[in-house]
Structure 1
Amino acid sequence: ADYRRDQDRSESFFSFHQPEDADVENQCFRASALWALERTQAAMAATRALWLHGRSQPKRCDKAFSRWRRAGGLTQALAWQRYELAVLAGEDRLAAYLERTLSEDQRTLARQLTRLRQRPTRTDRYETVDFNDPEQQALADSALKMLIKKRPAEALHLIADLKDSGRLAPAQALEYDYAAALRLIREDNLTVNDALIPAALRTNPDLIEASLIQLIKAGRFNALLTPLSQLPASAQGTLRWQYWQARAELSSPDIGGRESAQVSFERLASERDYYGHLAALWLGIPGSLADQSTTIAPEKLLDLAAAPTAQRIYELRALGETLEARREWFQLIKPFSNTELRIAAALASQWHWHDMAIATLAQAQAWDEVLERFPRPYAERFTEAARTQGVPVTLAMAVARRESGFWTEARSPVGAQGLMQLMPRTAQSVAKSIDLDSPMNLVLTQADTNIKLGTAYLGQLLQRFNDNRVLALAAYNAGPSRAKKWYTNPQPIDAFIEGIPFAETRAYVKAVLLYAAIYAQLNGLPEPLLYPYEIEQFSPNDPLPIGPSVFNAAAGSASFTLSAAPRPEGNP
């Protein structure tokens, strides 16, 4: 298609061009070719689609745009629509050029909205804005969102005025109110019950949870009980908020509060979950593994393996056609019952296709199949790399389990690759630091290389953050500078983790800590979710440190005491 385009061969171009081709040069040539071939209806549609973009199009589009305008394709509505797209895309030069396509009234409105967006905090400039006008909505919306970001309290007053004057629909006003209220809670440490928060939003679960997070970050655990009681019953029943309910009760000076907290921690500690393992720390007992792994009869595995689709998948993997094999696998198991999924997961494990076994068990919600959900492939390579870099092997494997499910060819949308999902630039930097041969020619989809570099990078982060796995994991996921920025004032370690600003990083840290504890238990090691030195690093003078001493009860014979748990073996 590119060759035909460059040779200006319109008719033969269509024999090679695919409609889904995203190349803009080809799309422009296609539109021009349609005009040249007098396929007017298709040409009008193709050119209109090219017009509705907020960025400048290639010069090759000019011929199609010219024919389209002469044919009456450019209406005032479409002229405004593209002007609006250009403004919102930050394409000021294009927006200025497009003003010539606007009517006089539209140009007046454009100047008014431009002044508003230049100074969105000037609330007097909203006096003539009508959010009900389709031509004003998008640009006025962008200005109001900027005001919400910079001055949420002022925005709430403005939103009320706009709604009262009828220039903002109530449903839309509520959406803006929510954004401003959430900003106030997160940035100004307000609670959902503050007078500034609109009454209609004070029962909003998301805002209540945001208030709870701010209280947790501030260490105001005794203030959690009221907002916790305002959560819907479904939210109150989650392990997360059960834990913080117990944490709040623990902070109560009332002895009954501590007794209630102990009962809650005992209930939570039976769960194989981040909060279950946190609760176990308070009690001084090992976290729950709750392994209920089952064994599938060999004949059932043979029956599934003999199916034509399963045989084809096996052959595709043998030929290195992993992506096609994955596609066919997901298609194969789509109609399966949970029992059939369990068999399929066992077959995938038998094939050492661990990421597919993990995904299949997740589809079956077979959470208690611990042995297959937490496999230990490449164990010798992980052990060697971990010892070399002074990293707990359980932590390195936990990172790989979370990052890729042990899929060597995994690639993220942002370019991270391999078992431990390394960015190429990071991998090159680490390779140079450990004197790896040919650091510019790394193959990150090779297990050996990825494990070596990923574990080395993890080791560097542990060194940087004084062996604190919480900060090292936050840095691994979100970058070292962010982790350093988040770690400012002393606060309990559980409060720090709960208050990590990025939801993805917060979930990542919780998951990897739990996975490391699970791998430790599978290896017969009595490692807790968090080490005593990590707890102390975050809040050295905490009057209520995580541990069983608060309940004045000695750990039983099957328990371990936090004070007895050393730094992980292999750490410097």
Structure 2
Amino acid sequence: MFLSAAPRRFICGLLAAAGALLAVPQAQAAASIDAQRIAFKQAYAAANQGDPGWRTLAAGLHDYPLYPYLPAAALEHDIRLIDRAAVEDYLASYPDLIPAADLRRDFLRELARRNDWAGFTALYQPGLGDTLACDALQASLAGGGTLDFQRDLAALWAKPDLPGACDPVLSAAHDQGLLTTARLWDRIDRAAEAGKAGTVASLASWLPAADQPTALHLAQAWRDPAAAVAAASSWTSSERNTRAATLALTRLARRQSTSADAGWQTLQGRFPFSEAQRNHILATLALFHATDFDDRALARLIALPPTAQTDATFEWRARVALARQNWPAVIAAIEAMPAALRQDGEWRYFHGRALAAQGHAAEAKNQFKTLADEATFFGFLAADELGQPYAICPLTLADDPARQASLLALPGLQRALELFAVDLPKPARREWNRALQGADQATVRVAAALANQRGWYDRAVFAFSSGDALRLYDLRFPLASQDGLVPQAEAAGIDPAWAYGILRAESAWMSDARSGADARGLMQLLPSTGALVARRNGMTWGGGDTLYDPVTNIALGTRYLAHMASRFDGSPWLASAGYNAGPNRVDQWLAARGTLAPDVFIASMPFKETREYVARVMAFSVIYDWRLNGTVIPLTTRLSTIGQPYATAAANAARKAVSCPSSAAPAAATSVVSAADGR
């Protein structure tokens, strides 16, 4: 059916008018939610500071999804002042919310501090963690109760480490005669296996006097393996002392392989080591001589008994051979691996490299051919060896409006999305996890896409981490232009694709990421590093918490990357290694093996974490280059030769095409497997 121009203009006018009418309430709703968010932030800050004015600021927020977080924050601030009635009122009002569970837990700790055991017992619920479980036992003891080992202690006793709140309970159990020698040894053995030397040492004093030295030997093996190995020749030859000697030798091998060798020569005839213990010691000694690249390392790995071989010893046999560029030995090492390990992309690639180096071009080509269909570090290297395009086969997630609507109606997901919108990502993740607990893969997938639309990128990164979901590149590798990475990287003189790769590998787009070493934000900068970079570049420094602001973090992170690259002739792959392991360690590796080709040098890095990190960053750089430009700088170009200057590619530099070969294409464009975690 066709219409003349006049009717078409009339209908178009009606549609435009209808659209304008619809836009008014939508605009009003947007303004309303923005106002609520501003008011919530102000009220939440006041409540966290104990300012009673939060109630005035929150006057219009009673129907806002996050309102329950406000009275909870005020109560948490005054936790040492409030009474049980105030807490119980909140719990009655919001019984199933996360802030209620937190408030119950925190107030129970306060009641325990007050020694208000009657109040504690009235409020306590099982399943709140080991600290409160032990406090509950203390409450029972304070009321005149006694302990029953199976009922009260068995579950706690099975754990290798317990909080300090359990110490009075364990003392009471000891005084009641419940901690028999057999039970003490049972927990000591578990703690020693888990490396909890403090637990072992603390329990040793309750053992019979004759048993105490043996327990302390186990603790010493963890704390000071060199001293334990030196002292072991004077220990009695018992089963547990043999375990302690095994532990001390293997621990020492990690630090001083030569000293551990000498200790093994002294002790191997002193204790009745089992075959498994001997194999463990021999494999560990060989492995850490290999990571030191000792002259006899390859021979020692080859000579290990078959029962002593592990995946690590098989791999390091290949790594040592690679570092020596002994290609026949590389082939032999890879072919000696178990079949599953041999199928790893790294070893398929180096098998092909070794075959090519030995003149077996056709066999090498066959190895590279199947690997080149994979969008991975080694898949890209294989494609470069063959001179063919990279196999990147993107998927697009199909819309599911019905499921989106049902998800957005969930109060828990509403709270999660709102918490993210008001810059509270940690509680947002807790609400997210609870709201989607038990959800099927399709539901998690749609939820992650909804979060991604709102700028909450890490939800998709973690949700789409296996199977065909890895091909949802637009969701797994967001560009987030609002954070300014591209202009900041260009201003710093580094490749934006590489900067994106570092960011993605470091934080998986979690803006509030914080490591055990206190590295913070998207690019995981230490506050001391952030302050130094800001000073060097004449930038404003607002303190460590400003690293959680994406714009600030990226501005400082790209400058730090540029500084790291300058240490290594501009090389992005070496700078990536330095970013992960520290530049001084990379300098040491370069001094020892700096003549190797980049791919072989990466394989020879002693730290597994750094090897995998560099491979991940460089593969991510290729994918981000493709996302930004449609074509890519070849990975082999990015892996510049050690000692040669590397410059960020010019606009007219040779680039590589990307295609989706039929052998690598997914069966269905919307077939997606999701996972709960991963990067």
TM band (smaller chain) = 0.7 to 0.9
Q: 1:15 to 1:558 in 2, by over 3 A?
A: closer
Aligned to 2:330: 224
Matches within 5 A, 1:79-90: none
User: Are residue 316 (structure 1) and residue 416 (structure 2) matched?
Assistant: yes
Matches within 5 A, 1:275-314: 275-284=378-387, 286=389, 288-294=390-396, 296-297=398-399, 300=400, 302-308=401-407, 312=411, 313-314=413-414
The structural deviation recorded for 1:307 is 0.7
Determine if contact 2:564/2:575 at 8 Å carries over to the other structure. Answer: yes
Letter in 2 for 1:317: L
Determine if contact 2:513/2:524 at 8 Å carries over to the other structure. Answer: yes
Q: 1:21 to 1:233 in 2, by over 3 A?
A: closer
Determine if contact 2:197/2:219 at 8 Å carries over to the other structure. Answer: no
Could you tell me how far apart the structure 2 residues matched to 1:52 and 1:249 are? 50
Q: Identify the match of residue 207 of structure 1 among 313, 320, 330.
A: 313
Letter in 2 for 1:448: V
Matches within 5 A, 1:23-422: 33-41=139-147, 45=152, 68-77=173-182, 101-106=206-211, 118-121=227-230, 124-125=233-234, 128-131=236-239, 133=240, 136=241, 139-146=244-251, 148-149=253-254, 150=257, 151=259, 153=261, 161=269, 167-187=272-292, 188=294, 190-191=297-298, 196-201=303-308, 204-252=310-358, 254=359, 257-284=360-387, 286=389, 288-294=390-396, 296-297=398-399, 300=400, 302-308=401-407, 312=411, 313-314=413-414, 316-320=416-420, 322-323=425-426, 325-326=428-429, 332=436, 335-336=439-440, 346-363=449-466, 365-378=468-481, 381-422=484-525
Task: Summarize deviations over 1:10-36 as a string: whole Å, max 9, x none.
Answer: 433434567677797x88876554333
Aligned to 1:470: 573
Determine if contact 1:246/1:265 at 8 Å carries over to the other structure. Answer: yes
Task: Summarize deviations over 1:426-453 as a string: whole Å, max 9, x none.
Answer: 3233233333324326422222112112
Q: 1:364 to 1:227 in 2, by over 3 A?
A: closer
Could you tell me how far apart the structure 2 residues matched to 1:344 and 1:78 are? 48
TM-score when normalising by structure 1: 0.75
Q: 1:507 to 1:108 in 2, by over 3 A?
A: closer
Determine if contact 1:344/1:360 at 8 Å carries over to the other structure. Answer: no
Determine if contact 1:465/1:471 at 8 Å carries over to the other structure. Answer: yes
Letter in 1 for 2:344: T
Could you tell me how far apart the structure 2 residues matched to 1:146 and 1:465 are? 34
Letter in 2 for 1:208: F
Task: Summarize deviations over 1:452-477 as a string: whole Å, max 9, x none.
Answer: 12212212211222211112111222
Task: Summarize deviations over 1:133-186 as a string: whole Å, max 9, x none.
Answer: 5xx465344334345454454566678757xx8x34434444344333323433
Task: Summarize deviations over 1:344-399 as a string: whole Å, max 9, x none.
Answer: 55544444433222333325532233333322112671122112211211111122
Q: Which has the higher mean CA deviation after the structures are superposed, 343-352 or 428-437?
A: 343-352
Could you tell me how far apart the structure 1 residues matched to 2:232 and 2:291 are? 23
Letter in 2 for 1:316: A
Could you tell me how far apart the structure 2 residues matched to 1:377 and 1:210 are? 40
Q: 1:176 to 1:494 in 2, by over 3 A?
A: same
Determine if contact 2:514/2:521 at 8 Å carries over to the other structure. Answer: yes
Q: 1:129 to 1:448 in 2, by over 3 A?
A: same
3-state secondary structure, aligned to 1:366: helix
Q: 1:332 to 1:42 in 2, by over 3 A?
A: same
User: Are residue 11 (structure 1) and residue 118 (structure 2) matched?
Assistant: yes
The structural deviation recorded for 1:511 is 1.1
Could you tell me how far apart the structure 1 residues matched to 2:479 and 2:219 are? 59
Letter in 2 for 1:434: N
TM-score when normalising by structure 2: 0.65
Could you tell me how far apart the structure 1 residues matched to 2:585 and 2:148 are? 50
Determine if contact 2:449/2:460 at 8 Å carries over to the other structure. Answer: yes
Give the number of aligned pairs: 524
Q: 1:323 to 1:223 in 2, by over 3 A?
A: same
Q: 1:68 to 1:230 in 2, by over 3 A?
A: closer
Q: Which has the higher mean CA deviation after the structures are superposed, 82-91 or 359-368?
A: 82-91
Matches within 5 A, 1:518-557: 518-524=623-629, 525-531=631-637, 534-537=640-643
Q: Which has the higher mean CA deviation after the structures are superposed, 228-237 or 405-414?
A: 405-414
Determine if contact 1:212/1:228 at 8 Å carries over to the other structure. Answer: yes
Letter in 2 for 1:483: V
Could you tell me how far apart the structure 1 residues matched to 2:163 and 2:510 are? 40
The structural deviation recorded for 1:40 is 0.4
Could you tell me how far apart the structure 2 residues matched to 1:529 and 1:477 are? 20
Determine if contact 1:152/1:184 at 8 Å carries over to the other structure. Answer: no
Matches within 5 A, 1:411-560: 411-440=514-543, 442-488=545-591, 489-490=593-594, 491-524=596-629, 525-531=631-637, 534-537=640-643
Could you tell me how far apart the structure 2 residues matched to 1:268 and 1:65 are? 57
Task: Summarize deviations over 1:36-71 as a string: whole Å, max 9, x none.
Answer: 32110269956996999889969x967x67655543
Could you tell me how far apart the structure 1 residues matched to 2:548 and 2:281 are? 45
Task: Summarize deviations over 1:522-548 as a string: whole Å, max 9, x none.
Answer: 3335412143782252799xxxxxxxx
3-state secondary structure, aligned to 2:605: coil
Could you tell me how far apart the structure 1 residues matched to 2:637 and 2:612 are? 19
Could you tell me how far apart the structure 1 residues matched to 2:404 and 2:516 are? 32
The structural deviation recorded for 1:207 is 1.7
Q: Which has the higher mean CA deviation after the structures are superposed, 179-188 or 82-91?
A: 82-91
Could you tell me how far apart the structure 1 residues matched to 2:378 and 2:463 are? 25
Determine if contact 1:246/1:260 at 8 Å carries over to the other structure. Answer: yes
Could you tell me how far apart the structure 2 residues matched to 1:295 and 1:186 are? 44
The structural deviation recorded for 1:200 is 2.8
What is the Cα-based RMSD across aligned positions, in Å? Answer: 4.4
Could you tell me how far apart the structure 2 residues matched to 1:261 and 1:336 are? 43
Letter in 2 for 1:498: A
Could you tell me how far apart the structure 2 residues matched to 1:195 and 1:409 are? 46
Determine if contact 1:48/1:73 at 8 Å carries over to the other structure. Answer: no
Q: Which has the higher mean CA deviation after the structures are superposed, 206-215 or 33-42?
A: 33-42
3-state secondary structure, aligned to 1:531: helix
Aligned to 1:567: none
